Structure 1
Amino acid sequence: MPIINTSQGVGGILNSFKGLIDGVEKITFVGTPGFCTPFAELLGFVVRDKKLAFIPNLDFEKARSISMTPEGIQLGEPIDAHADTVVLLGGLAMPKIGVSPEKAKEITEKVLEGSAKRKIIGVCFQAMFTLQKWDEIINFDYIINADLAVEVLQP
């Protein structure tokens, strides 16, 4: 896939994501509970005017809404996970999680059932989708790949 944009930091991830969802009405994030949930909420914040859902561990029936509350953006009530855009989060592709790209492709197709707009976006760190060869199985429209530099300072 050719690089169409570069940026830095959390703002770069969020602005890049927001730029990819013009014309989208509903977005369903798919990821692992705990690890991916905060990233779905963070990404959801910049598109909070859309209908948003989160599917934990490919379990379509356990989808929850993502909505803005006085305490911040949070998972809410059960929701129909069908959408016109699906966002696969990189935690799913980590080898220790045990999710195959074929199973992820199946849930992607289920989320997009009946949608004429159909968009698949991957959001990962350290090229997880490429390293695990998910990009060879899933026809992503876009992948947002970020790297994190970590420094622990002791003044």
Structure 2
Amino acid sequence: MPIINTSQGVGGILNNFRSLVKGAEKITFVGTPGFCTPFAELLGFVVRDQKLAFVSSLDFEKARSVYMTYEGMQLGELTDAHADVVVLLGGLAMPKTGINPEKAKDVATKILEGSEKRKIIGVCFQSMFMQQKWDEVINFDYIINSDMAVEVLGF
């Protein structure tokens, strides 16, 4: 996959994400509980006027809405997971989850059933999808890959 854009920081992730999903009526995030949920909520904030859902651990039938509250984005009631865009979050590919890419691909295909726009986007850190070879199994349209530098300062 060729690099089509580079940027930095959280703003870079969010601005690129917003541009990739422009025109979608509904976006469904798929990720692990706890680790991926806040990333879905963060990404969802920049597209909060669109219909949003979160599927935890590939459990299609238990998709939850993602909606804006005074405190920020939150998970809500059960909702239909079908969407124009599916966003696979990198926590799924972490080896300790035991989730295989073939099952994730099946869930992504199910989410996109009936959509004419059909887009699969991966959002990961430290090349997780590429390291675990998910990009060889899933036909991503785009992957937003980011690295994080961490500094702990003591005073």
Shared fold per TM-score greater than 0.5: yes
2:67 is paired with a residue whose SS is: strand
Letter in 2 for 1:104: A
Match of 2:43 in 1: 43
1:83 is paired with a residue whose SS is: coil
1:39 is paired with a residue whose SS is: helix
CA shift digits 1:59-87 (9 cap, x unpaired) = 00110000001221100011000001000
Aligned length: 155
Q: CA RMSD, aligned part only?
A: 0.5
1:22 is paired with a residue whose SS is: coil
**1 CA distance for matches of 2:103 and 2:21?**
24
Q: Determine whether 1:137 maps to 2:124.
A: no
**2 CA distance for matches of 1:147 and 1:46?**
20
Runs of 5+ unmatched residues, structure 1 = none
**2 CA distance for matches of 1:23 and 1:70?**
25
Deviation above 4 Å: which 4+ runs of structure 1? none
2:74 is paired with a residue whose SS is: strand
Match of 1:146 in 2: 146
Match of 1:121 in 2: 121
Runs of 5+ unmatched residues, structure 2 = none
Give the 5 Å matches for 1:3-152: 3-152=3-152
Farther off after superposition, 69-78 or 31-40: 69-78
Please give the TM-score of this superposition, normalised by the length of structure 2.
0.99
Share of identical aligned residues, percent? 78
